[in-house]
Amino acid sequence: MMSQRRSTLRSSALLGSLLCALGSAPALAGVSLRDIYQQAISGDADFAAAAADRDAGQEEANKGRAGLLPTVSLSGTQTHNSTDQRSMTILGMRGNNYDYTSSSYGISLRQPLYRPYNWAGYLQGQSRASHAEAVYESARQDLIVRTVAAYLDVLLAQDNLDLAQAQHQAYVEQLTQAERLFVGGEGTVTDINDAKSRRDSAIAQELEATNSLEVARRALERITGQEPQALATLAADKPVPQSPEPNDLSQWVAWARSANPAVLALRHGLESARQDVAKAGSEHKPTLDLIASRSKSDSENNVSINTRYDTRAVGVQLNVPLFAGGYVSANVRQAEAGQRKVEQQLESATRKAVLDARQYFLGVNTGVAQINAYRQSVASAESALQSTRKGFQAGVRTSVDILNAQQQLFAAKRDLARSRYGYIMNWLKLKAAVGSLGEADIAHLNGWLAVR
């Protein structure tokens, strides 16, 4: 009986150390999510590339506008000439030598009056600039999603490692106790073998958790370009799960159709494709330009040495294309095929945006129920562990039952952590699907974190 009491005391100490290890960790300074996001803005290569694409795309508007504006050119030449003239006369061969310098300078202006191709190019430039801006906005929201996902992956990996280490330590202590009891004639080989099996499994899980944490940290480093420091962790009472506002799936679907960044980008892309068709067809149409020029010349040839000319000209130039061997018609058909391609891409992107909105809307609502259920599961597992301990003290439960209860508590805490992080990601992706994800959401999430 005394041996059983000593065993009970050892088990109680063991359970106490496990519960402490599974509880909240001491608060340490950590880098916040806002800090990590600022690092990602300046350090993520994909986002930097998207910013460069946006800057390049904005110039399409300037290029299109240039086709409507006048072109002005200045030209000038100056040459030294030497002419040896020979001719037969009644007096024989006679000749003259001319050495002179000739010069010519001019300026010309051309203003398009009617050029359908240039007008379509102007409209296309506007569409391409808008497309570049929409793609950039999509990349910005994607950066938020990727940054938060990488951040939470590190937190989840750290949680899993902490729990794996706690479980490992508990099994080591349980094995030590089983071996002592066996030496004293109170334990069994079965208890030792079971504790060893669980300890070995815990070692493997700890190694896997360590590797997962390192991979998660390097994934975060890839985004920020900086060695990740200790991160601020999610507060124990966060998030407070709430359903989407409004809790109306049809409204979120409508927002996804109208405001999803990928959909908006392809709408501008479709308009650009339409202008491609207009540009191709305009090559059948006439063009009309206003032209003006002024030129000055001096000693243009050997019969006008020391003669100067000042010429001014203003007029219009009409060009009517008649036949281009079928090139224009082929170009039109090619542009129309390109337009049909973009139309299908837009339809596909719209369907994907709707599917994403549905999926993440349901994910947020499911997450609300899961977090509440897993929090209750953790509370129940803790109660079950305490009850098992009391049953062990009363002699109706075994050490194996305690180990099983510990394992159940570990699994419940792991599932709760996954559900909390999963809820946050579904919430973020839902906002991204409707194009409303921004830095205000980063600030909101940052309020859910507590220093580690």
Residues 337-351: tens digit of each pLDDT: 999 999 999 999 999
Global model pTM greater than 0.95: no
pLDDT band for position 23 (cuts 50, 70, 90): very low
Same domain, 255 and 354: yes
Q: Is 187 among the domain residues? A: yes
Q: Is 12 among the domain residues? A: no
123, containing H or E segment: helix 116-183
Q: Is 423 among the domain residues? A: yes
Q: Is 174 among the domain residues? A: yes
Q: Find tokens 């030598």 and name the residue.
A: 97
Same domain, 107 and 250: no
**pLDDT the model gives residue 195:** 83
Of the ranges 175-184, 257-266, 399-408, the best mean pLDDT one: 257-266
Half-sphere exposure of 376 (CA within 13 A, CB side): 5
Same domain, 174 and 187: yes
Return all residues near 89 (Cβ < 8 A) that are at least 6 apart.
Answer: none
353: number of Cβ within 10 Å:
25
The pair of three-digit structure tokens given for residue 10, joined into one six-digit string? 């050892």
The answer to whether residue 142 scores a pLDDT higher than 70 is yes
Query: What sign results for the dihedral spanned by CA atoms 315, 316, 317, 320?
Result: negative
Residues spanned by the domain of 76: 72-85+95-113+287-320
Cis-peptide into 321, omega within 30 deg: no
Same domain, 260 and 305: no
pLDDT band for position 133 (cuts 50, 70, 90): very high
Of the candidates 320, 342, 368, which is a domain's last residue?
320
Dmax over CA atoms of the chain, in Å, equals: 155
205: number of Cβ within 10 Å:
18
Measure the CA dihedral 88/90/95/96, to 10°: -130
Same domain, 211 and 81: no
Of the candidates 301, 320, 339, which is a domain's last residue?
320
Which residue has better confidence, 451 or 195?
195
Same domain, 190 and 261: yes
Same domain, 105 and 215: no
Residue among 278, 238, 354 nearest 117 (CA): 278
Encode 370-406: b = buried (16+ Cβ within 10 Å), e = exposed. Answer: bbeebbebbeebbebbeebbeebbeeebbbebbbbbb
Question: Which CATH number characterizes residue 371's domain?
Answer: 1.20.1600.10
Cβ–Cβ < 8 Å for 181, 398: no
Cis-peptide into 239, omega within 30 deg: yes
Cβ–Cβ < 8 Å for 33, 445: yes
Same domain, 341 and 437: yes
Q: Is 1 among the domain residues? A: no
Same domain, 393 and 418: yes
pLDDT 10s digits, 415-437: 999 999 999 999 999 999 999 99
Same domain, 252 and 377: yes
The answer to whether residue 1 scores a pLDDT higher than 60 is no
pLDDT band for position 171 (cuts 50, 70, 90): confident
Q: Is 24 among the domain residues? A: no
Same domain, 212 and 228: yes
The Cα–Cα gap between 410 and 164 comes to 8
Q: Is 43 among the domain residues? A: yes
Same domain, 267 and 296: no
DSSP 287: E
**pLDDT the model gives residue 191:** 79
User: How many domains does one find in the chain?
Assistant: 2
The answer to whether residue 302 scores a pLDDT higher than 80 is no
The answer to whether residue 276 scores a pLDDT higher than 60 is yes
Mean pLDDT over residues 432-446, rounded? 95
3-state class of 85 per DSSP? Answer: strand
Residue among 350, 432, 352, 443 nearest 138 (CA): 432
Q: Find tokens 């729990």 and name the residue.
A: 163
The Cα–Cα gap between 433 and 353 comes to 6
pLDDT band for position 6 (cuts 50, 70, 90): very low
Question: Which CATH number characterizes residue 107's domain?
Answer: 2.20.200
Q: Is 5 among the domain residues? A: no
